[in-house]
A = this chain, B = another copy of it.
Amino acid sequence: MANPSILILAGDGIGPEVMAEVKKIIGWFGTKRGIAFDVTEDLVGGCAYDAHGTPLTDATMAKAQEVDAVLLGAVGGPKYDVLDFSVKPERGLLRLRKEMDLFSNLRPAQCFDALADFSSLKKDVVAGLDIVIVRELTSGVYFGEPRGIFTEGNERVGINTQRYTESEIARVARSAFELARRRNNKVCSMEKANVMESGILWRQVVQEVHDKEYPDVELSHMYADAGAMQLCRWPKQFDVIVTDNLFGDLLSDMAAMLTGSLGMLPSASLGQPMANGRPKALYEPVHGSAPDIAGQGKANPIACVLSFAMALRYSFDLGDEAARVEKAVEKVLADGVRTADLMGPEGGKPVTTSQMGDAIIAAL
């Protein structure tokens, strides 16, 4: 049987630096655990635009469709702010999500014990926090038509369309309920059904899927504004949150920030099963390309490493190996190894991106 295949798209900014550490770990799995992957690399985002005039070539897109998993670093940077909307770095990422049909975006918001003090929230509010936001990723206002800037009379009008079909809602709801069953069996669905008809349909379909297929899971509904409040007030009330693309964008970033562990948080974007039974999948850290610290060896590779751990679990059915990576990260943190972003007021000497990677491998 062929080795499982991975396409690495390191992208811009700190993307290549953090991905370099993941490549070391992939190498470690090959030599030390006899688990080999076929790895290819390619460009996405600003670097792809620089090379090809587009943030994602058709050839790269085709490769992404064929591999068992895509690992992505980060895209974007101030250099590309002036580009036209259609070729901005983000379009590369959005094209991958859409064409691979990665409808279920799992964003854990987890507070690492060793880092609870980094949160702007009180320690008792976040310590031990472990929730997952399941964000719909291929529809909603991100992709709805009509969209654009038009002229009406003598002024411009900006238009976007929020659009959800029943089946789009049902499939992401299922993925949230499945996840909840493997966790604490509780799902909270968020929308603005008091204002938006698309939210009414969202609420109805989530409820229907629940009643028919997952009556054993505890389901609640919350307006997204109240949800944002409750995430600030007492995030531990949640287990799995399911929400649409746009609310999910805000709420998952916010939840990530709450933990104080932003540089640590991975994400998985999953689609339909392929012929080999594995889901289409893309893994990426929640943090961005951080152009301000790029190229200085300051970036924290842990979010990217943990994204690879998610790949082991969700794409390669290697849950034990995933746990091994996660434990190694915890050990390194408990040992006080810190990149610059994790330095507390007590000071100390931060390690470089590469030293952090080495420490994780030593702990493996």
Q: Which residues of A contact B (CB under 8 A)?
A: 76, 85, 88, 90, 94, 120-122, 125, 141-142, 144, 147-149, 152, 155-167, 192, 194-202, 205, 224-226, 228-229, 231-234, 246-247, 249-251, 253-254, 256-258, 262
**Cβ–Cβ contact B160 & A196, under 8 A:** yes
**Cβ–Cβ contact A229 & B200, under 8 A:** no
Chain B residues contacting A144 (CB-CB under 8 Å) are: 159
A229 CB contact (under 8 Å) in B85, B121, B197, B254: B254
Chain B residues contacting A202 (CB-CB under 8 Å) are: 158
* A331 CB, nearest partner CB in chain B, Å: 27
A149 CB contact (under 8 Å) in B125, B197, B258: B197
**Cβ–Cβ contact A165 & B161, under 8 A:** no
**Cβ–Cβ contact B160 & A162, under 8 A:** yes
Report copies per complex. Answer: 2
Chain B residues contacting A194 (CB-CB under 8 Å) are: 76, 88, 90
A158–B155 alpha-carbon span in the complex (Å): 29
* A237 CB, nearest partner CB in chain B, Å: 12
A162–B196 alpha-carbon span in the complex (Å): 11
A228 CB contact (under 8 Å) in B149, B160, B195, B228: B228
Chain B residues contacting A201 (CB-CB under 8 Å) are: 149, 156-158
Chain B residues contacting A156 (CB-CB under 8 Å) are: 165-166, 201, 205
**Cβ–Cβ contact B254 & A197, under 8 A:** no
Other contacts beyond A141-B195, A155-B165: 15, CB < 8 A: A90-B195, A121-B232, A122-B122, A141-B141, A144-B159, A147-B196, A157-B166, A159-B161, A160-B197, A162-B162, A225-B249, A228-B228, A229-B262, A233-B257, A250-B250
**Cβ–Cβ contact B158 & A197, under 8 A:** yes
A183–B308 alpha-carbon span in the complex (Å): 47
Interface centre among A120, A162, A192, A196 (most CB of B within 10 A): A120
A139–B162 alpha-carbon span in the complex (Å): 15
A256–B224 alpha-carbon span in the complex (Å): 14
A234–B147 alpha-carbon span in the complex (Å): 34
A to B CB contacts below 8 Å, 20 in the list: A90-B194, A120-B122, A120-B233, A122-B122, A141-B195, A149-B198, A149-B200, A155-B166, A157-B164, A158-B162, A158-B200, A159-B161, A159-B162, A159-B198, A160-B197, A160-B198, A228-B254, A229-B262, A233-B257, A250-B251
